[in-house]
Every structure is written in C-alpha cells, then in structure tokens.
C-alpha cells in the first residue's frame, strides 16, 4: 500500500494537494467565506481479499462531510490508471467543495 499511497500523493500534487501526514494521503486548503478549510484524502484498504483501494476524503461543511466522493483504484493499477482515477477524484472534490455554502458565499462576496 505504501507505493500506491506515494503514487496517489504524487498525482494529487498535480491538482494542488500536498502530501499528508499520518494516515492521510494528502490534504488541500480551500478558500471559503469563513477562511481556509482543509480537505483530506485517505486511501482505504479492505484487506487482502479486496481487489481495490478506495480513495476517499473528508471536508466538513454545514455539519456534514461534503467530500464523500470515493474512487475505486485497483490494487494492480498501472501509473496511468492511477493518474486518471486521481484526476477524477480531484475533479469531484473540487466540484463538491465548490457547492458548499461557504464556498458559494465567497464567490458571491468577491
């Protein structure tokens, strides 16, 4: 999982994410009307019998996780597949976070 986590973190960095600490793969700060808020990406593994990891995230807004956008990444994925799936996760994250009240309010105020 370590190599997969490193590859995912590298590809996320192309989308503005920074390498995470501890169990996080990466994190990114988004500007909102209430200041910067942190999104976190995690790689979930459901054991040796599962065929894929799930790249998922957290971003709390409005009392809920607005970043539950899980993307399945096959454990045997090549680098190009990982790049494509990470780009999908990053795009979904940007869209989900951009639709939160604090992000929309910031756009309105600018």
Nearest to 31 by CA among 91, 110, 88: 110
d(CA 94, CA 38): 12
Average pLDDT over residues 45-62: 94
**Is the per-residue pLDDT at 79 higher than 60?**
yes
Nearest to 44 by CA among 72, 68, 19, 86: 72
Task: Give the global pTM.
Answer: 0.90
Contact, 30 vs 43, CB < 8 A? Answer: no
Which DSSP symbol is given to 100? S
**Is the per-residue pLDDT at 1 higher than 80?**
no
Enumerate the H helices of the chain as residue ranges: 2-13, 79-98, 101-109
**Is the per-residue pLDDT at 2 higher than 80?**
no
């Amino acid at each position: 999982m370590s190599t997969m986590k490193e590859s995912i973190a590298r590809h996320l960095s192309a989308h503005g994410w920074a390498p995470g600490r501890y169990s996080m793969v990466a994190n990114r700060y988004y500007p909102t009307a209430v200041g910067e808020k942190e999104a976190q990406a995690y790689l979930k593994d459901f054991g040796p019998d599962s065929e894929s990891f799930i790249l998922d995230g957290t971003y709390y807004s409005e009392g809920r996780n607005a970043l539950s956008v899980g993307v399945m990444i096959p454990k045997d994925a090549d680098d190009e597949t990982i790049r494509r799936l990470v780009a999908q996760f990053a795009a979904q994250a940007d869209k989900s976070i951009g639709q939160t009240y604090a992000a929309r309010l910031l756009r309105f105020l600018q």
